[in-house]
Amino acid sequence: NDDWVFEWRGLIGKDYRFKGSSVITPFTGVGYRYWNDDIDFPGAYEREIQYWYIPIGVKAMSALAGDWIWGMSIEYDIFLGGEVKSHFSDIHPAFNDPENDQDFGDGYGVGLSLKFSRKLSDNYGVSIDPYIRYWDIDESDTSTLTAYGIPIGYVIEPENDTTVYGMRLNITF
């Protein structure tokens, strides 16, 4: 497979300071996720999956010893809706490329991340962020599959879940 994911998020939050240097930040916003899943073998096809969602969460940061700061973020993502386009014309040019809608509330996402950061100088810093994100999406609406413009069947995007985990290394300047 040749998969890639693009995610854009706009967030707003307010910092609440307590116990010296500790900060808690509740946040919300809007997010967009695009996943291109291009399966590469005979009879396979490309899929484009798009989601809009509202992240709601909280982030906490606190000082550690040796100029290190640690934090964590937890969030819940309200699924606003989406669309899956299946490029069946990749299998045979006679087929159309059905688009299946996914409606408000037809899924959710959750995320958890940790953060360990340290300022190296007045101009530079580093952080290490292990994270995990999970999506649970319900079955899509039905769409019509055609061959040469004649309806021959119906398609759905089945119920699915996705878990993404990893480690980010950030250099700040």
Q: What pLDDT digit, counting tens, does each position of 133-144 carry?
A: 999 999 999 999
Residue appearing with tokens 């934090």: 71
Q: Which residues contact 56 (CB under 8 A, 6 or more apart)?
A: 27, 28, 75, 76, 77, 78
Helix (H, G, I), strand (E, B) or coil at 89: helix
Instruction: Specify the pTM.
Output: 0.86
163 has pLDDT over 80: yes
73 has pLDDT over 80: yes
| pLDDT computed for residue 117 by the predictor | 94
41 has pLDDT over 90: no
Q: What is the mean pLDDT of residues 95-114?
A: 96
What integer best gives the mean pLDDT of the chain?
94
AA identity, residue 170: N
Neighbours of 8 (CB within 10 A): 9
Neighbours of 137 (CB within 10 A): 21
66 has pLDDT over 90: no
Residues in the chain: 173
